[in-house]
Amino acid sequence: MRMKNLLVPTLREVPAEAEITSHKLMLRAAYIRRMAAGIYSYLPLGLRTLKKVEKIIREEMDRAGAQELLMPALLPAEAYQSSGRWEVFGPSMFKMKDRYGRDYCLGPTHEEPFTQTVIDEVRSYKEYPMTLYQIQTKYRDEGRPRFGLMRSREFIMKDAYSFDLTEAGLDESYKKMYNAYCRIFERLGLDFTIVDADSGAMGGSGSQEFMVKSPVGEDSIAYCDACGYAANYEKAACIPTEKDFPEGELALEKIKTPEVHTIEELVEFMGTEPYVFAKTIIYKADDKYIAAMVRGDREINEVKLKNLVGCVDDLELAAPSVVRELTNAQVGFAGPVGLDIPIYADLEVAKMRNFIVGANVTDFHYKNVNIHRDFEPTVTADIRVITNGDACPKCGQPIKTAQGIEVGHIFKLGTKYSKALGLTCTDESGKPATVIMGCYGIGVTRCMSAAIEQGNDENGIILPPSIAPFEVIVIPVNAKEEEQMQLAEKIYTELKNAGIDALLDDREERAGVKFKDADLIGIPVRIVVGKKCGNGIVEYKLRKNPDTVEMTVSEAIERAKTYIRENL
Ligand code: ATP
Ligand code: MG
């Protein structure tokens, strides 16, 4: 490709709409343009990278034995109504009616249509196991679309679904996808961590996420360098710790704490440490109310709590009016003593003595509260969020925490969708069997952002040859000098003939402008044809290294070919 024929409207200024590096660079390097909030166009360079990402994913899915098909993005409501997700997705599902008033949505994820296809098309148990996939545009009306392609409302996902007749079969299908994902993210050049993720009621090793550690990641992960344990915050198990509490059981005291609502205010008011308090939070769990307790220096993990309670909808904080009704007090004074709803206490609360809680009376707290004597939790379990320095649940060494970008997710679904939609099969012995499913997603467009978030410097994008829009750029310093231009053309043609994805910057721009653009758009190898071209000498430079090396034309071509071959 020649630069003159390519639409590359690079920007010198950093666009105001972008907050994070990858988003800024994708706009500046003319990879993408914003059409509306969370909706982007892919300009030629961005599209080239996107296609390369897709190609790698496709190759690895095919290698793992998955079959590609393509579902519509515009989908009738029925299957989503049968699974209950027509409601569950809430406002994040783009819904619409056709001219006859029938309901449709733009697919946010495709478990339902894939399950329906297997119901309609698979005739015999002999066709299982089977893994189907597609690379397709997804639509989610995200509450906070942001960070460019990281969290958009229209994005491309590779989604795969496995169908097995036995649990052991599911384990095997899952393992194949796990291995394929490792290969994919390695080929994309991503530095990734695999974390255990929440799998709702499934438990076990039912769900893992592929994370790229980055301060801009929206997921929090806990990991241990000593043993390799890694889990999403939602999943990470916490070992309870014990603090130094006064010995013996002191007498319960009701103390006046006027205008003191938060733990911070209480700590200040009482002149003690946060761990001396236990927080009591009232939640709405489907159609009932529950109280959850953690130590004052801890946070409640709502996902763990939801799984423990076993409710369908996400937990919601109880409305202030409900809190007033259940506790007879203003918000901020709830406590377990005399509370008449189920109490879920964290493991650490069970290790506290003589602590402080809300008194269920406005402006009052109880001091010297003791479990069993003053109240009885309904359930005691791990319901807190892990923190930096906590003991690793596997080996006991200190846990570290980081932010992560979720680029992929694999999940043992079990029979959730096959049961809801009625996917069954008659097995060998003529007995009916329910089909067991797994689902496996990769955020294709998010992978592009993550790769750039990870690969950049002050001059622009740095991508590996496997996904850079072009592999080599040839730049004549002065395109008006015939000798330079001719040699640049020759190098370009030779590279093309060798199967290299080469770009020739044939624009009559100043050399400085061309160098800046080449760096900004992130082409891995740069060959510059300048004053020494008469002697057959050119400059060779890798985007990721600072050094420029002079060498003969044939040496430069050979080096480029070898480098690309070894890094694809
Ligand atoms: P998140 O927690 O980030 O909202 P998710 O867990 O809802 O994502 P999945 O349903 O697991 O997402 O979708 C599979 C993959 O699709 C994710 O791992 C992620 O890479 C990608 N993805 C999900 N939502 C978006 C989005 N709004 N924009 C871009 N990519 C997304
Ligand atoms: Mg996910």
pLDDT tens digits for range 224-233: 999 999 999 9
Distance 118 CA to ligand 1 centre (A): 24
> Which atom of ligand 1 is nearest to 409's Cα?
18
- How many angstroms is it from 409 CA to the middle of ligand 2? 5
Ligand 2 centre to CA of 530 (Å) is: 50
Element (H, E) at 294: strand 288-295
Ligand 1 atom with minimal separation from the 142 CA: 27
DSSP string, 109-140: --HHHHHHHHHHH---GGG-SEEEEEEEEEE-
Q: Is any atom of ligand 1 closer than 6 Å to the C-beta of 406? A: yes
The residue count for the chain: 568
Q: How confident is the model at residue 174 (pLDDT cuts 50, 70, 90)?
A: very high
Residue 483 has pLDDT above 80, yes or no: yes
CB of 158 closer than 6 angstroms to any ligand 1 atom = no
- Bridge partner list, 243: none
Q: Is the pLDDT of residue 559 over 60?
A: yes
User: How much is the mean pLDDT over the chain?
Assistant: 95
pLDDT band at residue 121 using 50, 70 and 90 as cut-offs: very high
Q: Which two tokens stand for residue 306?
A: 């939801």
Q: Do residues 41 and 32 lie in contact, with contact meaning Cβ atoms separated by under 8 Å?
A: yes
Q: Would you state the pLDDT for residue 181?
A: 98
* Per-residue confidence (pLDDT) for residue 568, from 0 to 100: 85
Check the CA dihedral 31-33-38-42 and report its sign: negative
| Nearest protein CA to atom 8 of ligand 1, as residue | 406
CA of 209 to the centre of ligand 2 (A): 7
Ligand 1 proximity of 156 Cβ (cutoff 6 Å): no
| pLDDT for position 202 | 53
453 lines ligand 1 (CB under 6 A): no
- Whether 135 lines ligand 1, by a CB cut-off of 6 Å, is no
Question: Can the peptide bond before residue 129 be classed as cis, meaning omega within 30 degrees of 0?
Answer: yes
Residue 91 has pLDDT above 70, yes or no: yes
Specify the pLDDT at position 266: 87
Ligand 1: nearest atom to the Cα of 153: 27
CA count, 13 A, side-chain hemisphere, 5: 4
- The pLDDT score that the predictor gives to residue 205 is 59
* Ligand 1 atom 29: residue of nearest CA: 151
Q: Is 407 in the pocket of ligand 1 (CB under 6 A)?
A: yes
Instruction: Tell me the CA–centroid distance for residue 268 and ligand 1, in Å.
Output: 41
The pLDDT of residue 329 is: 94
Instruction: Give the tens place of pLDDT for each residue, 2-43.
Output: 999 999 999 999 888 899 999 999 999 999 999 999 999 999
Lowest mean pLDDT among 60-69, 285-294, 422-431: 422-431
Three-class secondary structure of residue 350 per DSSP: helix
What pLDDT is recorded for position 201? 58
Q: Indicate whether residue 136 lines ligand 1 (CB < 6 A).
A: no
Q: Is the pLDDT of residue 204 over 60?
A: no
Whether the per-residue pLDDT at 386 is higher than 90: the answer is yes
Higher pLDDT, 475 or 272: 475
Q: Whose CA is nearest to atom 23 of ligand 1?
A: 443
Q: Give Dmax over CA atoms of the chain in angstroms.
A: 96
Residue 471, CA distances (Å) to 98, 144, 463, 542, 561 in order:
46, 35, 10, 11, 10
Provide the 3-class DSSP secondary structure of residue 178.
helix
Ion ligand 2 neighbours, Cβ < 5 Å? 409
Nearest CA to ligand 1 atom 16: 443
Q: Which of left, alpha, beta for 191 (phi over 0: left; psi -120 to 50: alpha)? A: beta
Share of the chain above pLDDT 70, in %: 99
Q: In whole angstroms, what is the distance from residue 512 CA to residue 20 CA?
A: 26
pTM score of the predicted model? 0.92
What is the 452 CA–ligand 1 centroid distance (Å)? 18
Q: How many CB atoms lie within 10 A of CB 546?
A: 7
Q: How far is CA 145 from the centre of its chain?
A: 14
Give the nearest ligand 1 atom to 108 CA: 10
In 3D, which of 307, 68, 82 has the Cα closest to residue 206? Answer: 307
User: Closest-lying ligand to the alpha carbon of 190?
Assistant: 1
pLDDT at residue 413, rounded to an integer: 94
Look at strands 74-76 and 154-164 and give their pairing. unpaired
Residue nearest to atom 11 of ligand 1 (CA): 409
Confidence of residue 459 (pLDDT cuts 50, 70, 90): very high
How remote is the CA of residue 411 from the centroid of ligand 2, in Å? 9
pLDDT at 428: 84
Q: Is the CB of 142 under 6 A from ligand 1?
A: yes
237-291 pLDDT per residue, tens: 999 999 999 889 999 999 999 988 888 888 889 888 999 999 999 999 999 999 9
∠ CA 245-251-253, rounded to 5°:
95
The ligand that comes nearest to the alpha carbon of residue 151 is: 1
Tokens of 315: 């937990």
